[in-house]
A and B are shown apart, each in its own frame.
Chain A
Amino acid sequence: MTQLKFNYKRLFASVLMLAIISCSNPWDDRLDNGDENLTVNLKEAIESRPEGSEFAQLLEQTGYDKVLEQSKTFTVFVPTNEAINQVDDAILNDPASLIAFIRNHITFTTYSSIREKQEERIKMFTNKYVTFKGSTTIDEATIVSPDNYAKNGVFHIIDKALTPKLNIWQFIKSQAGASGISDYLLSLKEFNIYKSDSIGKAVSETNGAGYLSDSLTNSYLKNVYNLNNENNLYTVFLMQNDGYNAEVNKLKPYLIKTSNDPSKDSTAIYSKYFTLRDMAFAKEYELNELPATLTSRFGVQIPVDKTQIVQQVRLSNGIVYIMKKVDVDLGKRLVTTKIEGESITSFSPSNLRSRVLFRDRVDASGIFFNDIRVQNPGVSLFTLNYNAKDLFSTTYKVYWKAYNDRSVVVSQKLRVGGSNVFLNGVMQGVIKEFAYMNVPANSYEELYLGEFTLAKAGNIDLISLIAGTSSTSELTLDYLRFVPQTK
């Protein structure tokens, strides 16, 4: 019996021993690498840094300290107390601006100062981008203490606050009243440069903001570039009023229009539009990157005279250069209209589609081109119709290139203008009808047809290429070229 008791004691002692030893659980220990940083979240980590205490306090004030406690992954750029002190009080005292200010310092996922990319645009919580360059520069701030980490992300301490910038369109809006250009561009919310602009505007109006892309609410944003878009980068030249007016006046003789509404000067409105549509470019050019000429998306070459730059404004989606003037050569401004032969709007007789051949060809120097050919039409006066947009009120010289590789003689004529209205058998609205001309066989030469003059600027809805009077008369066309002449 004593023996048994003794054995119980020993058993008890060893069980106790085991229990004590197994208090530290090796399975749980595998996660513990002794890194204290990983035991705190970003909020706590930022609060523990004395140089960021002001920012930490702002986080708490806006409730974003709760966000930084979440188990997502963030990168936070924490401005030092000195940096916060330099921020405009107007921002810090206005709750809405303050939230935007805080949001512009936080982004999802971790961005270490050591990255593969030399330069990277980071989308902050404001949906605005800031540029992370190299390992130390974020926008205009410098990182003073990089790569501080906590369990849910990293933060960098920076010497300058990332106050959210306006984008280009917001900047233009902010200049309303002071800048003629701003006033004009904002007026294009009401005024439709093209008829089709009104559709988007009307739908946006009925459904409220945000229903359609904001680019549809303004004719400039729709037809040139959406300067309100934070995702892309642009360069815009904004002329001061004198230079702007001079440039608009240069264009007025070429954009003569009559207005439906006598209170509106259509000529002036369109002259302004055609002046300003060439002032925006879909790339951010730093001052030292600006080339001698830039080509707008409408094919106009704009000379860049750096001496005219008054101010360079950096914005969240690009750079605006305030210029005294941007003097564009009229010859460059009046762009040639080229109509491809295969870009027909219709043909007649409209039931003979099979006679219209869209061909792939190669010219004498081996360059590919597409053209159109009407072959064995079986009817006389087969007609191909085209249209042209945005023509100027001036004289145009007309050229065509047509390629005749068949043994048939091709004789065809061009009619500019026209309509389906006939008066005493005469078509109304014809601006110019050129004489029949032969297309020489197997020649790739461009031929001069003659010229026509437009009294009013605008579109020509009907331009027709007409075949001869025989039922075997064929047509061929590579392109038409209308070259506007300066007055």
Chain B
Amino acid sequence: MITTIRTKKTKSIVSMVSAVILLFSLGSCQDYLDVEPEDKLSGEQMYRNVFDADAAVVGIYGKFMGLAEKYVILNEMRADLMTTTRNSSPALKELSNHNVSIANPYISPKDFYVVIQNCNDALANFDMMLAKKRFTQSQYDQRYADVACLRSWVYLQLGIHFGSVPYITEPINNLEDVKNISKYPRLPFDQLLDKLVTFTESLTYKDIYDTQSSLRITVDGYDTMKFFINKECLLGDLQLWKGNYLSAASHYKNVMESTPTSGANSYDYYRVRIPDVVNNDDLAVGYRRDYETDATSLVDSNTKGWRSIFARDRDIMWNTEWIWSLPFDSDFAPANPFIAIFSKTAGDYLAKPSQSAMDRWNSNTSRFGYPYDARGPKFTYKMVGTDPVIMKYIYKFEAAADQFKREGDWFLYRAAKLHLRYAEAANRDNQQKVAFAVLNQGLKETYTIYNPDGTIPTDVTNIQQTKLGFPYDFDARQGDAPNYRAPWHRSVGVRGRARLISVGAIGDDVITTENNIINEAALELAYEGNRWEDLVRIARRRNDPSYLANKIYDKLSKEGNAEADNVKAKLMNPANWYLPFNW
């Protein structure tokens, strides 16, 4: 190709073009270098509207469910109700013997920080969205509070298990930095609690998502309402840890007085309802009417009685008990980790009830003369062959009778736990009688002033109520002339629902009542991930390491563990309650 160019003209064109390019490039230098990648979304692009925010919230809960196995194993295997089996891995045995090695996979706090990092990232972006007016103040408040509370919950767990941990509230670039003590100094548990209380109390929104919220929907057959953390319960727990008992009781009472979901009766909702002795359509330990001493008439069913708390569908009655529970479904990740842990026939049978726990149930007397608490040997665990198997988590799976239908739940908060925690706070706030009532046979019975012949007076106008101010105000009147059906008349107490005789007496001191409450939590809530937390909280509160150490000693010595004495000596030093912070 032959081209003739007039050199002079070309030169002048070139210099003009260069000048123009230079001019443009100088002005647009910043934008020019800031190319948006075409295969990735930046935070701003991801958080465009409220539905993107919802997706972020749901995504965080998805990640959060990955903590289920660790939560149960750390809180139960380290405590006294659960122990190892012949199949347990050395890692589990280390936890049970309080002698962990660095390589133990259960003690890595990394998974917790993954969730925290997710929360921090979402919170920062929510702030950005609000600033850019991408959603309303109310939408912001609700989502921000939810994610913030979840983060506080995870931090509380970290504090319980690791003691001193870095408190990070901003998104960070490299998760490995969490371990870097110079970048993120570790906060002792006390200071962490202060931070958590201050931060969580400062949230403006403390209710569940309102009924208009796009997060209150039914998805894949599950109502999402009970998926999300209950903020008042969390605040109650934080204040209970902190020692602000009145504040804790107030938060709990707010939940106890919650407005029911549609279909549920407000007398039943989170109030530990009286047994239905006729049809056994209840959540109580029950037998056939009038023949309650026949052990074979025990209501042992996935749809009726106490066992159904863990096995029934998420129906109206389920909603009266459960405050926070996340479902595992075989159609979606993450997979249910509990069948492998607990089932002997379909899983690996890695954990079982300890002798100490079984003795605990068997030292109770039912009101029908059974020398045991049926919640233990009949429902919480069952003998499969000669082995005790923890059943709470596998009733649904066994009912489906299908290897591939591995449905189950992560049990996080329910009415019985709420009532026991409330009783714990009330007791420390010198309301032993209220605590006694909630723990034992309920408010109506405890606050009834009987006639001299032992009958209930016809006119209950002035009895069956606490006559105290918030949060200890209960009206449990039930009378026919004049007619009363007060809000609490159906509440029967945690032991009342389990059909057990009362423990303790009105007038017991704080310590006795507290011991009874924590013991009851072991019987009612075993293997739901509360025990270690309960032991640490009480031992810290009393400044008495032996409270915790003796419980663990009882478990280990009853199974003939040669290390029992050493472990007890070790746990007498509170520093040894906490796991090494490393991964």
Query: Which candidate, A180-188, A353-361, A428-436, is the interface stretch facing chain B?
Result: A353-361
Docked complex: B279-336 residues within 8 A CB-CB of A: 288, 290-291, 293-297
**B296-A358 in contact (CB<8A):** yes
Question: Are B371 and A360 in contact (CB-based, < 8 A)?
Answer: yes
B372 is an interface residue with CB less than 8 A from chain A: yes
A91 at the interface (CB under 8 A from B): no
Query: In the complex, what residues of B have CB within 8 A of residue A357's CB?
Result: 291, 293-295, 297
- Whether, in the assembled complex, B105 has its beta carbon less than 8 Å from a beta carbon of chain A, the answer is no
Determine if A360 and B291 form an interchain contact, defined as CB atoms under 8 angstroms apart.
no
- Once bound together, how far apart are the Cα atoms of A288 and B390, in whole Å? 42
- Measured between C-beta atoms, what is the minimum distance from A279 to chain B in Å? 28
A360 to B291, CA, bound (A): 13
Q: Is the CB of A358 within 8 A of B295?
A: yes
Is the Cβ of B291 less than 8 Å from the Cβ of A361?
Answer: no
Say whether B295 contacts A359, CB under 8 Å: yes
Cβ-neighbour of B294 out of A358, A361, A362, A368 (below 8 A): A358
Q: Judge whether B371 and A373 touch: CB under 8 Å.
A: no
Tell me, yes or no, whether A215 is within 8 Å of chain B by CB: no
Once the chains bind, are B371 and A361 in contact (CB under 8 Å)? yes
Most buried by B among A357, A360, A373: A360
A224 and B296 alpha carbons, distance in the complex (Å): 32
Cα distance A361–B362 in the bound complex, in angstroms: 11
For the complex formed, measure the closest distance between the CB of A371 and the CB atoms of chain B, giving whole angstroms: 10
Q: Which chain A residues border B369 with CB–CB below 8 Å?
A: 359, 361, 405
Chain B nearest CB from A370 CB (Å) reads: 8
Let me know if A375 is at the binding interface, CB within 8 A.
Answer: yes
Please encode chain B, from 63 to 95, with 1 for each CB lying within 8 Å of some chain A CB and 0 for all others: 000000000000000000000000000000000
Per-residue 0/1 for B362-379: is the Cβ within 8 Å of any A Cβ (1 yes, 0 no)? Answer: 000000011110000000
Using Cβ atoms and an 8 Å threshold, which residues of chain B touch A370?
A: 295
Chain A CB within 10 A, most for which of B288, B295, B297, B372: B295
User: With the chains together, A362 CA to B290 CA distance in Å?
Assistant: 21
A375 & B291 in contact (Cβ 8 Å cutoff): yes
CA distance A362 to B366 in the complex (A): 12
- Bound Cα distance from A360 to B296, whole angstroms: 10
Q: What 0/1 readout, one digit per residue, does chain A (134-146) give for beta carbons within 8 Å of chain B? A: 0000000000000
Chain B residues lying within 8 Å of A405, measured Cβ to Cβ, are 369
- Are A362's CB and B371's CB within 8 A? yes
Min Cβ gap B293→A in Å is: 5
With known contacts A368-B371, A405-B369, A360–B288 Cβ distance under 8 A: no
B294 nearest CB neighbor, chain A only: A357
| Cα–Cα, bound, A411→B370 (Å) | 24
Q: Is the CB of B371 within 8 A of A359?
A: no
Chain A residues closer than 8 Å to B288, beta-carbon distance? 354
> A358 to B294, alpha carbons, bound, how many Å?
5
Q: How far is the CB of B354 from chain A (nearest CB, A)?
A: 19
Interface size class of A (residues with CB under 8 A): 10 to 19
Which residue of chain A has its CB nearest to the CB of B366?
Answer: A360
Nearest CB in chain B: distance from A360 CB, A: 5
Residue of B with least CB distance to A359: B293
What is the CB-to-nearest-CB distance from B344 to chain A, in angstroms, rounded to a whole number?
A: 22
Chain B residues whose CB sits within 8 angstroms of the CB of A375 once the complex forms: 291, 293
* A370: nearest chain-B partner, CB-CB: B295
Contacts of A373 in B (CB 8 A): 293
Q: CB-CB < 8 A to B294: which residues of A? A: 356-359
Assembled-state Cα–Cα distance A360/B369 (Å): 8
Cβ proximity bits B323-363 to A, threshold 8 Å, 1 near / 0 not: 00000000000000000000000000000000000000000
With A and B bound together, what is the CA distance between A383 and B295 in angstroms? 20
CB distance from A354 to the nearest CB of B (A): 6
Q: How far is the CA of A354 from the CA of B290 in the complex (A)?
A: 9
Interchain CA distance A242-B297 in the complex, whole Å: 57
Q: Which residues of A contact B293 (CB under 8 A)?
A: 357, 359, 373, 375
List chain B residues, Cβ under 8 A from A356: 294
CA distance A361 to B296 in the complex (A): 13
The complex places the Cα of A405 from the Cα of B370 at a distance, in Å, of: 12
Residue among B291, B370, B372 with the most chain A CB within 10 A? B291
CB neighbours (8 Å) of A358 from chain B are 294-296
**Distance A197 CA – B364 CA, assembled complex (angstroms):** 46
Bitwise interface map of A from 333 to 359 toward B, beta carbon under 8 Å scored 1, else 0: 000000000000000000000111111
Q: A362 vs B362: C-alpha distance in the bound complex, in angstroms?
A: 10
CB distance from A353 to the nearest CB of B (A): 9
Q: What's the minimum C-beta distance from B350 to chain A, rounded to whole angstroms? A: 21
Residues 370-414 of chain A, each 1 if its beta carbon lies under 8 Å from chain B, else 0: 100101000000000000000000000000000001000000000
CA A360 – CA B288 in complex, angstroms?
A: 15
CA A375 to CA B369, docked complex, whole Å: 15
Distance, CA A361 to CA B370, complexed state (A): 6
Query: Given A360-B371, A361-B371, A405-B369, A354–B295 Cβ distance below 8 Å?
Result: no
Min Cβ gap B277→A in Å is 15
Bound-state CA distance A360–B361 (Å) is 14
CA distance A362 to B364 in the complex (A): 11
| Smallest CB gap from B368: residue in A | A359
Residue of B nearest to A357 (CB): B294
Minimum CB distance partner of A363 in chain B:
B371
**Shortest beta-carbon distance, A152 to chain B, in Å?**
32
Chain A residues positioned under 8 Å from B291 (CB to CB): 354-355, 357, 375
Closest CB in chain A relative to B170 CB, distance in Å: 50
Cα–Cα distance between A375 and B288 once the two chains are bound (Å): 14
Nearest to A356 among chain B residues (CB) is B294
Residues in B neighbouring A355, C-beta threshold 8 A: 291
Distance of A361 Cα from B295 Cα, bound (Å) = 10
In the assembled complex, the CB of B45 is this many whole angstroms from the nearest CB of chain A, namely 47
Closest to B287 in A: A357
B96 to chain A, nearest CB (A): 23
**Residue in chain B with minimal CB distance to A368:** B371
Q: Which residue of B lies closest to A366 (CB)?
A: B371
- Complex: how many Å from CA A354 to CA B294? 9
A370 to B372, CA, bound (A): 13
Residues of A close to B371: CB separation below 8 A: 360-362, 368
Closest Cβ of chain A to B441, distance in Å, is 22
CA A183 to CA B288, docked complex, whole Å: 57
Tell me which residues across on chain A come within 8 A of B295, comparing CB atoms.
Answer: 357-360, 370
The residue of chain A having its C-beta at the shortest distance from the C-beta of B292 within the complex is A357
**Distance to closest chain A CB from B489 (angstroms):** 30
- B286 to chain A minimum Cβ distance, whole angstroms, is 15
Please, how many angstroms separate the alpha-carbon atoms of A234 and B295 in the complex?
A: 39
Q: Which residue of B lies closest to A372 (CB)?
A: B294
- Which A residue sits closest to B372, measured CB to CB? A360
Residues of A within 8 Å of B296, CB to CB, are 358
Complex Cα distance, B290 from A355, in Å, reads: 10
User: What A residues does B372 contact at CB under 8 A?
Assistant: 360
| Residue on A nearest B374 in the bound complex, by CB | A360
CA distance A354 to B295 in the complex (A): 12
Q: What distance in Å separates the Cβ of A444 from its nearest Cβ neighbour in chain B?
A: 13
Q: What is the CB-to-nearest-CB distance from B375 to chain A, in angstroms, rounded to a whole number?
A: 14
- Tell me the minimal C-beta distance from A37 to chain B in angstroms: 35
With A and B bound together, what is the CA distance between A175 and B296 in angstroms? Answer: 52
A7 to B249, CA, bound (A): 95
Shortest distance in angstroms between B388's beta carbon and chain A's nearest beta carbon? 15
CA gap between A356 and B369 in the complex, in Å: 16
User: Which of A357, A361, A370, A405 has most B Cβ within 10 Å?
Assistant: A357
Nearest opposing residue in chain B for A354, CB measure: B291
Q: What's the Cα separation between A357 and B298 when bound, in Å?
A: 11
Given contacts A354-B290, A358-B295, A360-B295, 7 further A-B contacts (CB under 8 A): A357-B291, A357-B294, A359-B369, A361-B369, A361-B371, A362-B371, A368-B371
Q: Give 7 nearest A-B pairs by CB, closest first.
A: A362-B371, A357-B294, A358-B296, A360-B295, A357-B293, A359-B293, A360-B370
Q: List 28 A-B contacts (CB under 8 A).
A: A354-B288, A354-B291, A356-B294, A357-B291, A357-B293, A357-B294, A357-B295, A357-B297, A358-B294, A358-B295, A358-B296, A359-B293, A359-B294, A359-B295, A359-B369, A360-B295, A360-B370, A360-B371, A360-B372, A361-B369, A361-B370, A361-B371, A362-B371, A368-B371, A370-B295, A373-B293, A375-B291, A375-B293
Q: Could you tell me which A residues sit within 8 Å of B by CB distance?
A: 354-362, 368, 370, 373, 375, 405
